[in-house]
Structures are given as C-alpha cells and as structure tokens.
C-alpha cells in the first residue's frame, strides 16, 4: 500500500533534496528501508538508531506496534531527530 | 592553497594564494555534521570528510565538485552479526593506487577501492589478538592516525591501543610501542599495547623516522617504530598534548602544542604556545610570534597541519574557532579566520585542476 514518509532537513539533504517520499510498504520498517537514506536511519545490525524517532499518524512507533506494525493505506510516517545533541557525549581528543 | 577546517558544525574551506596571508572563508559545507577530519585527495581533487552526527551515525562524505554537492557512503559498518557497532569516523587517508583508508571508533580501520562509496573492514586489525587489552581514551577508542609510508609500511595509531605497523598492505599488524609509556597504568607502565597515542606521523622523506605525541610524552623513533625515545623536559612546558606537525623536508623539525596535563587540558603557561624543535627533539623553543597571549585554549589532535611549500607553512585550528597560519615555518603567525565553530581538524591541499 502507498504511504508517505516525511524527512527532517538534514536527511532531506542526504536524500537529494527531497523531504517527502511516497513508497509502497506494508510496515513502518519496510517503508523506511525503501528510502535512499536507510543507512542513516538503521545501523549495521539493522536496528533503528537510538536517537531517531519515528511517528506514524502522529504516534511514536515505540509507543505502538514498533517498526513491524502493519500500516494503513495512506499512512503518514514522520522521521524526527530526538531531543539530544548539543555537547557531545565524548570529546574529540582534547 | 586551501585549508580544510573540520568543525562541530560542518566543514569550512579557506583559500589563499601561495603567499598564504589573505584567506577567503567558504562554508559551512556538509552542514549539521561534525567533521572530525577532511582531506583534498591530490589524485583526483575529491574532497572527503569524516562526518558524524548524534542521530544518524558515523559516515564519510565525498564531493567531486569542490564542495558544492556531497554524497555519503553507501556501505560502511562493522559486521552485522558482531557485538560492536561503528561509533565514529576519525581520519581518512589516501593510500596507494586508488586506495583510501579510514580510521574510526572502536579501534577500526576500513579500506575503499571505489572512491569512498563502499568501505571494507580491515579484519587484520579488527580481529587483532591484543584487542582485549585495548581501552577507549577520552574521545572513545579512536583510530586517528593512518600513515602510508614511502617504504611500503602502513601505520595506525589508536587511543588507547597504541601504534601498529603492517608490512603486508594491511593484512597483519604488529604493535610498535617499545619505549612509549603508559603512565596511567603504574602496574604495567611499558606494556606491549594499550598506550594512548594522540597523534603519529611518519616523515614524508625519511620513512625510518616517526614522531608521536602521546598522552605520556613526545617521542621520536629512528627505526620505523621499533624503539621510541621520549623527548620532553628539554624546553617543553609539558609532555601532554594532542596535535603534531612535521617539516616536509627536514626530518629534525617538529611542532607540538603542549597542554598543562591530562587533568587540565588547556594550553600551557596561559598562552597559545606552539613549540618547535629543529634538532630532532633534543631541544624545543617557543614559536608563537603572533599567537594569542594570554590565552587558555585547546587544539585537537588533528588541529595542526603543514604544507609542502618552501618555506613550509604551518597551520593551526583551535577549539575556539580560530585558524592561524605561519607561512614561514613558525617564525610568525597570522590569523586566517576567527569565530568559526569549534575546530576539530585542519588539513591543507592544492586543487590540481
């Protein structure tokens, strides 16, 4: 089924300037894996990076069925960077 | 001549003629990414940047149009069935032929043969028998120094694993830490591995001569890293520091920026002091004419660079966002840029076309 994925600005830049994608997918994870920036969302063990939040129709997927939850046709998936950052967790050597 | 200044908020390019006195600043490029290190590959004018974000992981960006557009790597990571994940990318280095090398955390090295699109893990270092004795330093367990020696060897420096040398193009790696101290481990102050290398360089024309700024002193080796001599207490205010620069032709010249110590990481004596030796480290003198004084600053491990011109230029970037250039081998310094974001790395290069 067709769903919409919305990306924040940094990811849109990495996706060639597009912040909106329409993809065919039955699950949230499947939709995200269709994107050209999937490697920025998922790590090498195919786990969603911990500071990437994903909302489906306005609800955080970690509070509903997770990435394997079945999507409704026309669902809107929004990717948001978590409230974090600022000072790094570790310094760069000085 | 260009300076690539990697910062916490993207990459800046500073451009000047060979006089190296007037610099134009362009940037930020790759905005939103922390640029731990960036290079201009002299073989094909491609820019590479070790790029990290808090949300989207560690990567390497590349640009084939002088920084106008960038692409990230399509394949970069540790084995999917392992316990470790790639934490940061730290240093990218041109290799032989078309090779590129990439260092990262946790103590890992990658190699690319396709211009940085896909990166292959160097398993000889990843599976090294001594890995269980490595530990992360303050910046993580970072592979920050990669040196492709003219004599065929490859060197890697990892904090805090030590220095390693490969004689077989990266297949196997031998620790080369004899004589370098681990003062932070009084129960074993000279271990085979586990030293906290901060920066390691091979002299570009005398490959038997290596220099090292370590957590525990400044060192020189005259036998390809087999043995190291500690060089402090002869004019340096401290053996602790991070960055290191050499002279492109004279193997007896080196530059360091001492900090007070491991527990107080700020430039020594309340000034931004670059110290230079011209006798292989037997003595050191202040080479800070034009640098801020008083000042309490910090220069990261990639924060010094040198060019190949005559006289050789030396380049310095601070965590407080200033770039200083000495066009005369440390005789005087001019301010090339101020008020940039915190600078993580400085490299220099020249467009070939």
Q: Is the dihedral of CA B202, B117, B174, B133 positive or negative?
A: positive
pLDDT of residue A93: 46
- Closest CA in chain B for residue A11: B56
Min Cα–Cα distance to chain B from A4, Å = 21
Min Cα–Cα distance to chain B from A52, Å = 6
In what helix (H) or strand (E) does residue B187 lie, and over which residues does it extend?
Answer: none
Does any CB of chain B come closer than 8 Å to the CB of residue A24? Answer: no
Number of Cβ within 10 Å of residue B310's Cβ equals 9
Instruction: Give residue-wise pLDDT tens across range B74-121.
Output: 999 999 999 999 999 999 999 999 999 999 999 999 999 999 999 999
Superfamily (CATH) of domain B2-349: YVTN repeat-like/Quinoprotein amine dehydrogenase (2.130.10.10)
Between CA A31 and CA B212 the distance in angstroms is: 49
- Closest CA in chain B for residue A92: B139
Please give the average per-residue pLDDT across A76-85, as a whole number: 89
pLDDT of residue B139: 85
For residue A53, give the nearest of A4, A7, A3, A2 by alpha carbon: A7
Between CA B69 and CA B63 the distance in angstroms is: 6
Instruction: Give residue-wise pLDDT tens across range B189-247.
Output: 999 999 999 999 999 999 999 999 999 999 999 999 999 999 977 999 999 999 999 99
CATH fold for domain A2-81: Ubiquitin-like (UB roll) (3.10.20)
pLDDT of residue B310: 97
pLDDT of residue B231: 96
Mean pLDDT for all residues in chain A: 91
pLDDT of residue A91: 46
How confident is residue A85, by pLDDT bands cut at 50, 70 and 90?
low
Helix (H, G, I), strand (E, B) or coil at B213: strand
Residues constituting chain B:
353
Rg (CA), chain B: 19
Instruction: Give residue-wise pLDDT tens across range B244-297.
Output: 999 999 999 999 999 999 999 999 999 999 999 999 999 999 999 999 999 999
Please give the average per-residue pLDDT across B318-322, as a whole number: 98
Please give the average per-residue pLDDT across B18-35, as a whole number: 97
pLDDT of residue B325: 98
Residues constituting chain A:
94
Please give the average per-residue pLDDT across A58-81, as a whole number: 94
Give B110-116 contacts, CB < 8 A, sequence gap 24+. Answer: B110/B76, B111/B170, B115/B44, B115/B46, B115/B62, B116/B46, B116/B48, B116/B60, B116/B62, B116/B73, B116/B92
Instruction: Give residue-wise pLDDT tens across range B137-178.
Output: 888 999 999 999 999 999 999 999 999 999 999 999 999 999
Between CA B314 and CA B255 the distance in angstroms is: 9
CA B72 to chain centre: 22
Between CA B264 and CA B98 the distance in angstroms is: 42
Prior bond of B28 cis (ω within 30°):
yes
What would the 3-class secondary structure string for B241-298 be?
A: EEEEEECCCCCCCEEEEEEEECCEEEEHHHCCCCEEECCCCCCCEECCCCCCCCCCCC
How confident is residue A94, by pLDDT bands cut at 50, 70 and 90?
very low
Domain ranges of chain B: 2-349
For residue B137, give the nearest of B154, B156, B162 by alpha carbon: B162
pLDDT at A92 exceeding the cut of 90: no
pLDDT of residue B233: 79
For residue B109, give the nearest of B156, B149, B74, B150 by alpha carbon: B156
Min Cα–Cα distance to chain A from B18, Å = 31
A51 vs B33, B54, B78: nearest CB:
B54
Q: With contacts defined as CB-CB under 8 Å, which chain B residues touch A43? A: 57, 77, 85-86
Cβ contact (<8 Å) for A39 and B74?
yes
pLDDT of residue A88: 52
Please give the average per-residue pLDDT across B7-15, as a whole number: 98
pLDDT at B60 exceeding the cut of 90: yes
Cβ contact (<8 Å) for A93 and B53?
no
Does any CB of chain B come closer than 8 Å to the CB of residue A46? Answer: yes
Helix (H, G, I), strand (E, B) or coil at B181: coil
Q: What per-residue string of b and e applies to B278-292 under the rule 16 or more CB within 10 Å gives b?
A: bebbeebebbbeebb
Q: What is the DSSP string of B96-125?
A: STT-EEEEEETTEEEEESSSSSB-EE-HHH
pLDDT of residue A86: 55
What ipTM did this prediction achieve?
Answer: 0.92
- Closest CA in chain B for residue A36: B74
CB A45 within 8 A of CB A23: no
């Amino acid at each position: 089924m067709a769903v919409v994925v919305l990306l924040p600005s940094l990811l849109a830049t990495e996706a060639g300037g597009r912040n909106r994608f329409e993809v065919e997918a039955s699950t949230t994870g499947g939709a995200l894996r269709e994107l050209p920036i999937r490697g920025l969302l998922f790590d090498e063990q195919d786990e969603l990076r911990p500071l990437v939040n994903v909302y489906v129709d306005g609800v955080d997927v970690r509070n509903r069925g997770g990435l394997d939850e079945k999507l409704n046709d026309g669902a809107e998936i929004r990717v948001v960077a978590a409230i974090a950052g600022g000072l790094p967790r570790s310094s760069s050597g000085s | 001549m260009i300076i690539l200044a990697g910062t916490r908020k993207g990459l800046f390019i500073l451009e000047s003629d060979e006089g190296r006195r007037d610099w134009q600043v362009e940037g930020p490029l790759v905005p939103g990414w922390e640029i731990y290190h960036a290079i201009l590959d002299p073989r094909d004018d491609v820019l590479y940047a070790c790029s990290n974000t808090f949300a989207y992981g560690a990567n390497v960006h590349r640009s084939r149009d002088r920084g106008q557009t960038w692409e990230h790597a399509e394949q970069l990571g540790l084995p999917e069935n392992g316990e470790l994940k790639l934490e940061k990318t730290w240093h990218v280095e041109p290799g032989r032929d078309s090779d590129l090398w990439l260092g990262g955390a946790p103590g890992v090295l990658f190699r690319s043969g396709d211009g940085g699109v896909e990166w292959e893990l160097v398993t000889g270092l990843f599976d090294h028998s001594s890995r269980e004795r490595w530990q992360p330093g303050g910046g993580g367990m970072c592979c920050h120094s990669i040196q492709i020696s003219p004599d065929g060897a490859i060197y890697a420096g990892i904090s805090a694993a030590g220095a390693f040398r490969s004689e077989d193009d990266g297949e196997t790696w031998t620790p080369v830490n004899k004589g370098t101290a681990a003062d932070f481990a009084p129960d074993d102050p000279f271990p085979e591995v586990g030293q906290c290398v901060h920066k390691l360089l091979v002299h570009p024309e005398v490959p038997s001569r290596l220099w090292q700024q370590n957590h525990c002193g400044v060192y020189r080796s005259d036998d390809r890293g087999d043995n190291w001599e500690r060089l402090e207490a002869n004019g340096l205010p401290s053996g602790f520091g991070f960055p290191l620069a050499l002279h492109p032709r004279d193997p007896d010249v080196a530059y360091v920026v001492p900090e007070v110590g491991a527990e107080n990481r700020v430039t020594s004596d309340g000034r931004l002091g670059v110290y230079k030796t011209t006798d292989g480290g037997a003595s050191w003198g202040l080479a800070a004419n034009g640098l801020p004084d008083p000042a309490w600053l910090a220069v990261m491990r990639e924060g010094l660079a040198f060019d190949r011109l005559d006289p050789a230029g030396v380049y310095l970037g601070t965590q407080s966002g200033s770039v200083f250039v000495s066009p005369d081998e440390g005789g005087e310094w001019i301010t090339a840029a101020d008020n940039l974001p915190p600078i993580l790395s400085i490299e220099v290069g020249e467009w070939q076309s």
